[in-house]
Structure 1
């Protein structure tokens, strides 16, 4: 049986504020995915030039930095350089006898993270009517134990895990690039099939008796037995209809004032507003339902166009590029009814439209299957990585046999 040691003998909390030194040091952040690193320019939390960081905590290269609100998810790591971190983080100095790579693996292992989760206070609870924020107390972290592993064995474990996790990480990166390539191929496949045809405006393909229109301005609170309605958040698939049981309802009196936007089976719905570009086809079970003001009903003329063909056009790169050009320069990027109505739609013969739609259904399904298989492979690789770390740091794997 491996002896253990309490973390309080290995970790000492440091609460030194940066003061004037903050201006000369990088701002570091903590992530579940990458541990501790500099905040990038693209981070929404990147400091403004005028931001005062004097009250931020100072950390030195080799310090352990913990996001206490997400520690139980693995949001911690060893600082790669001197820097400043959020006052909400915890900074701990690591005893010189400890291999910091080994400690980082131990603290981010599934075994340790699960232990932290059991210590976190306030998950799902309330206090005086307020939701408590889950937060790991450093004293509780220090009360945890770690295996009492000799320094040379710590280095051997860290070397082994560095080597093995690097192999897995490389494999994961390759699979992620494959997914990007498959997604690019999917977009290109759709675009290629739609090129080379004369185009018309979407509004010219709509039933004149049921013109394009948005829906209810204020739907009000849900009503039992009320009229279902569809909003942008309800559209989740490429042309798939929302399920009736998942939709919200409005009072019949409110819906009655919006007869112009009543839905029928086979109608196309397009989201506009800031969450624009989602497309659904209404199932028969939603007939009689309605829309929100950020969705538009498109009742197509089936003697002119195939519904599934139009769905693919609306989801194509050509349409996305057109919408982007039309709303370029606007203070708020929103698609409106007028721009949607002017969207160019290729118009081959009905027979050709059906052929294209069937082909794209088939080809995108194949690509989607490959993407799903690759995503599952990545998930299994990450599970393997986590299991490898846990086995090594808890002594289940003797790394000396792995040399």
Structure 2
């Protein structure tokens, strides 16, 4: 990897009179984006592949990723044609750096800015790195405007006046090729750490599954649970259906019981699936109701020890009601489960959030386009139940497993963030001439 101290500065610098750009090498020139780009709006080629612009990747084939939820128009004849080497800017996300030089021939949304690039003056890869560097993202932020951040806009008439440092084309090519190699090295290091985090998650899931289905004593006599996907359990454990462990199991308010207009800010929290994360309830101040509405929905009000399930989406997502979170309202998209005295609510939250339960719920859930739970399905879920004192020991062990894995994952994530920051800093330093190759 690269350290800035490894590279010398140029012998002489000159002022650009642009505060955010600073000094540049004396032999570089200053131009503007309009000097190296020409706005284009070629259309009527609907059969070309649709492209997207990502902050982290630049211009890509839209179908190459499954996390792009922007709908493509049924009629793409109005989409703009992009040729290899064109500059494409998502003007609504420019403030995040969503732009780049395209390596693909395709079409993009008519809302994007598309430009041809004067390749005799600028090496496309150099321009790609330069326009996506941190100093420039700050400029786009200042030039973007609108009522809401997600709907900010930046116009080419403003964009084209942004100054550019321009070294010789040979030097631009050397810079572009160098950054290709070095950013690939950094990206590989980031990917390795991300993979380690995923492996940690898998290991944590295995250890928790082991604890809640096999216990903590590897020498305990075992017996067949009678449930294929659970396998053997300690001989002294019981298998209970969730309905047998329930004091209450009911769906949240639906139909006319709770309308969108009932929601207010900073009232009594309503717990929908989006407020459930990693076994915890995370209230949202914008998803709340008045005390009057809460009293009307009192039968859906939570108590300490209650578990709230998401009815839709990710199966097994649930959250435990703890001290300070009681008195909330179980939302329309959720199910309220109140355990009886046969099982500890913390143990049940751990067991119900484990991978083997998730797989079971995915198998039995119903819904044409999205997994969907109901109280009938939940009541039939089989749970291995050890004696109460053993449940408490398992809880302690799982808390320890989670803490240890969280600490390692946190350290890895700090390393990823540092690599990412270093990458951005290195790109900015090289393309603006602060260090010499």
What band does the TM-score fall into relative to the shorter chain?
A: 0.7 to 0.9
Aligned-pair distance for 1:112?
Answer: 1.0
Matched with 1:128 is: none
Q: Structure 2 residue aligned with 1:102, among 126, 130, 149?
A: 126
Question: Which stretch of the first structure deviates more once superposed, 91-100 or 198-207?
Answer: 198-207
Aligned-pair distance for 1:76?
Answer: 0.9
Going from structure 1 to structure 2, the CA distance change for 1:287 and 1:244 (only over 3 Å counts) comes to farther
Matched with 2:383 is: 345
Structure 1 residue 297 and structure 2 residue 320: aligned? Answer: no
Q: For 2:333 and 2:413, locate their aligned partners in 1 and report how far apart those are by CA, in whole Å.
A: 32
Aligned-pair distance for 1:349?
Answer: 1.9
Q: For 2:394 and 2:339, locate their aligned partners in 1 and report how far apart those are by CA, in whole Å.
A: 18
Report 1:211-290 matches (<5 A): 211-217=248-254, 218-219=257-258, 221=262, 229-238=270-279, 240-242=280-282, 248-252=288-292, 254-274=293-313, 277-290=316-329
Going from structure 1 to structure 2, the CA distance change for 1:288 and 1:321 (only over 3 Å counts) comes to same
Structure 1 residue 119 and structure 2 residue 143: aligned? Answer: yes
Q: Is the 8 A contact 1:64 1:92 kept in 2?
A: yes
Deviations 1:178-235 (A, max 9, x none): 111111112222222233324210111123xxx2223444346357997554333333
Deviations 1:15-69 (A, max 9, x none): 111x2x442x322221112111212164444758xx4332221221111111111
Question: Which stretch of the first structure deviates more once superposed, 57-66 or 325-334?
Answer: 325-334
Q: For 2:38 and 2:188, locate their aligned partners in 1 and report how far apart those are by CA, in whole Å.
A: 34
Q: For 2:132 and 2:327, locate their aligned partners in 1 and report how far apart those are by CA, in whole Å.
A: 53
Deviations 1:66-91 (A, max 9, x none): 11111221111111132222211121
Aligned-pair distance for 1:9?
Answer: 1.1
Q: Is the 8 A contact 2:265 2:285 kept in 1?
A: no
Q: Is the 8 A contact 2:271 2:330 kept in 1?
A: yes
Going from structure 1 to structure 2, the CA distance change for 1:93 and 1:331 (only over 3 Å counts) comes to closer
Root-mean-square deviation (CA), in Å? 2.7
SS where residue 339 of structure 2 aligns?
coil
Matched with 1:371 is: 409
Matched with 1:319 is: 357
Structure 1 residue 191 and structure 2 residue 227: aligned? Answer: no
Matched with 2:226 is: none
Aligned-pair distance for 1:358?
Answer: 1.4
Q: For 1:312 and 1:273, locate their aligned partners in 2 and report how far apart those are by CA, in whole Å.
A: 19
Which stretches in structure 2 are left out of the alignment for 5+ residues? Answer: 1-13, 15-23, 214-231
Which stretches in structure 1 are left out of the alignment for 5+ residues? Answer: 126-131
Structure 1 residue 10 and structure 2 residue 36: aligned? Answer: yes
Q: Is the 8 A contact 1:35 1:76 kept in 2?
A: yes
Equivalent pairs, count: 382
Going from structure 1 to structure 2, the CA distance change for 1:185 and 1:246 (only over 3 Å counts) comes to farther
SS where residue 29 of structure 1 aligns?
strand
Q: Is the 8 A contact 1:234 1:247 kept in 2?
A: no
Moved over 6 A (4+): 223-226, 243-247
Q: For 1:331 and 1:388, locate their aligned partners in 2 and report how far apart those are by CA, in whole Å.
A: 45
Matched with 2:84 is: 61
Aligned-pair distance for 1:166?
Answer: 1.3
Aligned-pair distance for 1:377?
Answer: 1.3
State the TM-score, normalized to the length of structure 2: 0.79
Q: Structure 2 residue aligned with 1:164, among 179, 182, 186?
A: 182
Q: For 1:225 and 1:4, locate their aligned partners in 2 and report how far apart those are by CA, in whole Å.
A: 52
